[in-house]
Amino acid sequence: MGKLLLIFTVVFILTFPATGNAQKVVIGYSAVSALYLPFWAAKDVGFYKQEGVDADLIYISSSSTMAQAMLAREVHISTANSQVIADAGLQGGDLMAMGAVINVTAFYVMAPPEIRTIEDLKGKPVGVSRFGASTDFAMRMLLAKYGLEAGRDVPILQIGGMPELAAALAKKSIYAAPMSFPTGFLAQQAGVKILFNLAKESIPFLHAGVTTTRKFMNERRAQAKAFLRAYSRAVYFMHTRREEAKEIIARYTKIRDPGMLEGSLQYAQDFVEKIPLVKPQAFQVTLDEIAKKNPKAKQAKPEQFFDNSLVQELIDEGFFVSLWGKNP
């Protein structure tokens, strides 16, 4: 009897993750935006627990503060972008992306109805939140893609946050601006339309990485991989369980309007990668921008700042095919 009990105990331990004894994993997100729905859903639906990850989820609004918390080992995994990761790395920090939430600038460029093409913006001011921000980067890259030079052909004005950009568009003190949802939905209600969905423009930028430290990835590799499995299950969930996904968005953002919730979910589905591989060009573009002020960036290589090996292991194991039923 005692031998049978011992065998049963060993099988139980091997079969079920021992979350009670697992090391805590502190996971940070840096904006109350539907783009971070997979982080929320993995916690609320139980995917972290399912994968044996004892997770605490915390919100830190400042990217620089998030980076400091990670370097201090107070946060283990976060949503830092490529500029934060590269800046830290160039200063000797060990931040790195082990995956990508979004590999492009995650905005809709919105404009009043009379602006039908990007050529219509010639000589008209466009708005960004602040110079050097991701909105500024997105607008400059979009203009350059279509042969327009920011400043010379299209003036760029620093306006403020998303509500200020929406108000300036409504008053036509600017004629285009990169917007995120749910604020973009409010702009649509005021008669502004989507001119460009930047998910379709292939402007590379790691808008949000699955960011950690090399120390965490090296010392707790199994937990890092388990996190990626849980996160990826949550991405699948947000595509296949729309109503439940919108309930989670409502819980974290306090949005109640059905149209805003629908728009916010669509925003996340448009931009969040189904397979979270980091694209090297997303870092190269960032390094090119940093190099304008920091000469160290000219010698740096994109591969210094990311490691796709865990995601590649999941691909090779057939995890994503088993999840989606095909290669997504």
Beta carbons of 110 and 169 less than 8 angstroms apart: yes
Instruction: Pick the more confident residue, 14 or 238.
Output: 238
> What does pTM read for this prediction?
0.81
pLDDT digits (tens, 9 = 90+) for 238-278: 999 999 999 999 999 888 999 889 989 998 998 999 999 99
Of 200, 223, 248, the last residue of a domain is 200
Look at residue 146 in the predicted model and tell me its pLDDT.
Answer: 94
Q: Are residues 99 and 212 in the same domain?
A: yes
Whether 14 is covered by a domain: the verdict is no
Q: Are residues 91 and 216 in the same domain?
A: yes
Mean pLDDT for the chain? 88
Whether 11 is covered by a domain: the verdict is no
Q: In what order do the strands lie in the sheet containing 177-179?
A: 177-179, 108-111, 193-197
**pLDDT bracket for residue 161 (50, 70, 90):** confident
Whether 10 is covered by a domain: the verdict is no
Of 147, 167, 200, the last residue of a domain is 200
CA 202 vs. chain centroid, Å, equals: 15
pLDDT at 215 over 60: yes
Q: Are residues 214 and 96 in the same domain?
A: yes
Per the rule left: phi > 0, alpha: psi between -120 and 50, beta: everything else, 175 is alpha
Q: Are residues 112 and 249 in the same domain?
A: no
pLDDT digits (tens, 9 = 90+) for 38-83: 999 999 999 999 999 999 999 987 777 888 899 999 999 999 888 8
Whether 182 is covered by a domain: the verdict is yes
Domain CATH code at residue 273 = 3.40.190.10
Per cent of the chain over pLDDT 70 is: 93
pLDDT digits (tens, 9 = 90+) for 288-312: 988 988 999 999 999 999 999 999 9
Q: Are residues 245 and 272 in the same domain?
A: yes
Q: Are residues 97 and 119 in the same domain?
A: no
Instruction: Pick the more confident residue, 238 or 19.
Output: 238
Q: Which residues contact 54 (CB under 8 A, 6 or more apart)?
A: 19, 20, 22, 23, 24, 25, 48
Of 159, 181, 200, the last residue of a domain is 200
Look at residue 279 in the predicted model and tell me its pLDDT.
Answer: 94
Least Cα distance to 184 among 197, 200, 171 occurs for 197
Pairing state of beta strands 177-179 and 108-111? antiparallel
Whether 4 is covered by a domain: the verdict is no
Least confident of 52-56, 183-187, 210-214, 277-281: 183-187
Look at residue 5 in the predicted model and tell me its pLDDT.
Answer: 40
Whether 319 is covered by a domain: the verdict is yes
Whether 12 is covered by a domain: the verdict is no
Q: Are residues 228 and 308 in the same domain?
A: yes
Give 99's strand partners: 210
Least confident of 13-22, 57-66, 71-80, 177-186: 13-22
Q: Are residues 182 and 52 in the same domain?
A: no
Whether 7 is covered by a domain: the verdict is no
Q: Are residues 231 and 261 in the same domain?
A: yes
Range among 85-89, 107-111, 148-152, 237-241 with highest mean pLDDT value:
237-241
State how many domains the chain has.
2
Q: Which residues contact 162 (CB under 8 A, 6 or more apart)?
A: 129, 179, 180, 183, 184
Q: Are residues 99 and 154 in the same domain?
A: no
Look at residue 22 in the predicted model and tell me its pLDDT.
Answer: 63
Q: Are residues 214 and 305 in the same domain?
A: yes
For residue 195, what are the domain limits? 108-200
Q: Are residues 172 and 225 in the same domain?
A: no
Using alpha carbons only, what angle is made at residue 160 by residues 155 and 163, rounded to the nearest 5 degrees?
115
